[in-house]
Each structure stands twice: as C-alpha cells, then as structure tokens.
C-alpha cells in the first residue's frame, strides 16, 4: 500500500512555465519515470530559507530531504504526489532547458532577495548538477526550476498531449463540485470515493486547437484510483498551472491582437456530465 501522510506547507514559490510536449505513455527510447530522481536545495530569498526536497520517480513522490530554516517538515515527509506523467514532464522540462549542457556550472548569485537553487538531476546512470540564483540562471532553466519548486505549494503542470484521446487516460469516477480560475491557476474542487490508496490526477489538453472565435481546446481531468477498496468520501482541491497552455497558444497563433486574449477550455471529467466551459483570459 502506497498511502502516506501528505504534508502541505505554505512555502512561497514563484510561478513559471516552459512548453514541453508529453504523451500519456512513456517513449520506449526516452526517459522512464521510474529512472528519474531530481533533488533541489533552495536557499535565500527574503526569508533566508534553506531546505531540500526531491522528486522520486520510482515512487512518484516529492519527499523532504532536509529542513534547515523557514520550513516545518521533517526528512522523509511526503510533500506532494505527482503522477508518472508529471514526473516525466519535469524530466523533459529540465533536459530541454539544458541541464546536461550546463552540468557542473554555478551561475552564482544576483541579489540577496532571490532564491538560490542547487539542482541534481539523475536519469538512470546519467546525472548533472547546476546551481544559481533565479536571476542568474539561463532563462529556460530558471523557469523550469521555478515550476518544479511550485510542487511544494501543491501546483501541478498541465500536460499537453495533442495526439491522445480521453480513452488513453485513466477515467475512474469522480465528481466536480466547483472550479475557479485566477490568473493561470485553475482550481478544481473534486470528490471521489477512496481512502486507502493514493489517487492520481492529470489535467490533459488533447486534440489540438479548435478553430473558432474564441479559439477552443479540449481539456480532460484524468483520475486513477488504483483500485482503492475503501469508500470514504474524499474532498480535494486540485491546482493546475495553465501557463504553458497559454504559451503554446501564443506560439501557434503568434499575436492574438491588441487587448486581452481569451481561449475557451472545454473541461471534461469522468462524471458523465457534459464538458464545462472555462474562459481563460490573459
């Protein structure tokens, strides 16, 4: 049984994203989720923090490694439970941002109020370490590490998998009770039966952009219950960052014109109801 206490902590992190395409199934010649290990030490910032966490692909967990200053977890605490697809997302995010290219580089500090990161990325027998402050790291790498840091606040990435279809993703039953969108962060209030197993949720954009005005896109919420034998009613708030979906739109359509741009998310969840419309304006 994989259930452990999930510790949520109010740790301040930045919001950033870089577009990466990821399928729902692992590429047989690409990285496998179970081979991924990412360790991040975070120091500095206004509060002079000092803590270390790791994304462990073999167990699909984010665990605490050390807590020195301005943190309230213990080594071994479970801080987040990303899905295998999300672990692969972060692996591709870091490799595409050049973590192997910059292996062994310390980009130094820029200002005392910025976080300083030391990131060790391992994929099987291959490993790379980079370090530097938010403003001194190369842009793509800084954004990738910042998005990884968001895991500690419970914010998950949206997965863009245009070729896939809903049947390619787990769709165990759940109920969508409410949703809210503030900036790029989509919050989904869900209920489902369980209590004995850890459940996985992915937010997946699929099928490509649909030509309309405003432009629409299909988005599904997947749910893997791991054959949970318990039937307690679980209430959970899921948080997803839509930034990279916006970036994909901008890359596809270049300039949407003057003023704000709206894209319509057609959100489907495995509850038998019709897709909900969510307007994302930026």
* pLDDT at residue 110, as a whole number: 77
Q: Per residue in 101-116, pLDDT tens? A: 999 999 998 777 899 9
Given pLDDT bands bounded at 50, 70 and 90, which one contains residue 256?
low
Return the H-helix or E-strand segment holding 148: helix 139-149
33-153 — its CATH code? 3.30.1560.10
- pLDDT band at 258; cut points 50, 70, 90: confident
Per-residue pLDDT tens for 212-236?
A: 999 999 999 999 999 999 999 999 9
Cβ neighbour number for residue 230 with a 10 Å cutoff: 12
Return the bridge partners of 38, or none: 55, 121
Q: What's residue 7's pLDDT?
A: 46
Total residues found in the chain within this entry: 282
Determine contact, residues 148/55, Cβ cutoff 8 Å. Answer: yes
Q: What is the pLDDT of residues 71-101, one digit of tens each?
A: 999 999 999 999 999 999 999 999 999 999 9
Q: Would you say 193 and 228 are in contact if contact means Cβ atoms under 8 Å apart?
A: yes
Statement: residue 3 has pLDDT above 90 = no
Residue bearing the bigger pLDDT, 211 or 5: 211
pLDDT at 8: 43
Q: Tell me, what's the pLDDT at 14? A: 40
Classify residue 183 as left (phi > 0), alpha (psi -120 to 50) or beta.
left
8-59, pLDDT tens digit by residue?
444 444 433 334 445 444 454 567 999 999 999 999 998 999 999 999 999 9
Q: Do 37 and 61 touch, CB atoms closer than 8 A?
A: no
- The DSSP bridge pattern shows strands 49-56 and 36-44 to be antiparallel
Q: Phi first, then psi: what are they for 279, rounded to 5°?
A: -90, 120
Distance, CA of 271 to CA of 259 (rounded, Å):
36
For CA atoms 128, 133, 136, 142, the dihedral sign is positive
pLDDT at 221: 98
User: What's the pLDDT at 24?
Assistant: 45
CB atoms within 10 A of CB 261: 17
pLDDT at residue 112, as a whole number: 74
Strand partners, 220: 204, 268
User: So what's the pLDDT on residue 116?
Assistant: 96
Domain 166-281 falls in which CATH fold?
Immunoglobulin-like (2.60.40)
Measured in whole angstroms, how far is the alpha carbon of residue 141 from the centre of its chain?
Answer: 15
pLDDT tens digits, residue range 128-180? 999 999 999 999 999 999 999 999 999 999 999 999 999 999 999 999 999 99
- Output the pLDDT for position 118: 98
Confidence grade of residue 257 (pLDDT, cut at 50, 70, 90)? low
Give percent of the chain above pLDDT 90: 83
Digit-coded pLDDT (tens) for 135-146: 999 999 999 999
Q: Is 176 left (phi over 0), alpha (psi -120 to 50) or beta?
A: beta
What is the pLDDT, as a whole number, of residue 179? 97
pLDDT, mean of residues 179-193: 97
Residue ranges per domain, the chain? 33-153, 166-281
Distance between CA atoms of 254 and 176, rounded to whole angstroms?
Answer: 33
Q: How far apart are CA 280 and CA 185, in angstroms?
A: 10
| Residue 114 CB contacts under 8 Å (≥ 6 apart), including other chains | 44, 45, 133, 134, 135
């Amino acid at each position: 049984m994989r259930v452990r206490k999930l510790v949520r902590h109010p740790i301040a992190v930045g919001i950033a994203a870089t577009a990466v395409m990821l399928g729902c199934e692992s590429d047989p010649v690409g990285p496998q989720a179970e081979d991924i290990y990412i360790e991040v030490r975070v120091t500095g910032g206004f509060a002079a923090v000092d803590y270390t966490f790791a994304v462990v692909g073999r167990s699909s967990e984010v665990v605490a490694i050390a807590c020195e200053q301005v943190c309230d977890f213990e080594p071994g605490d479970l801080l987040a439970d990303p899905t295998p697809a999300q672990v692969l997302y972060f692996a591709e995010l870091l490799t595409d941002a050049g973590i192997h290219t910059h292996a062994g580089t310390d980009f130094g500090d820029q200002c005392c109020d910025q976080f300083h990161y030391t990131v060790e990325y391992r994929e099987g027998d291959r490993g790379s370490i980079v370090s530097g402050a938010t403003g001194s790291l190369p842009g793509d790498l800084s954004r990738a590490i910042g998005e990884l840091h968001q895991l500690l606040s419970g914010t998950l990435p949206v997965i863009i998998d245009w070729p896939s279809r809903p049947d390619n993703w787990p769709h165990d039953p759940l109920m969508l009770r409410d949703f809210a969108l503030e900036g790029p962060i989509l919050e989904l209030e869900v209920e489902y039966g369980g209590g004995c197993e850890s459940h996985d949720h992915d937010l997946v954009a699929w099928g490509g952009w649909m030509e309309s005005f405003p432009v629409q896109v299909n988005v599904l919420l997947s749910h893997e219950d791991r054959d949970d034998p318990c039937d307690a009613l679980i209430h959970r708030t899921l948080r997803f960052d839509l930034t990279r979906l916006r970036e994909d739109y901008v890359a596809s359509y270049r300039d949407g014109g003057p003023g704000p741009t709206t894209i319509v998310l057609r959100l489907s969840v495995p509850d038998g109801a019709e897709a909900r419309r969510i307007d994302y304006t930026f």
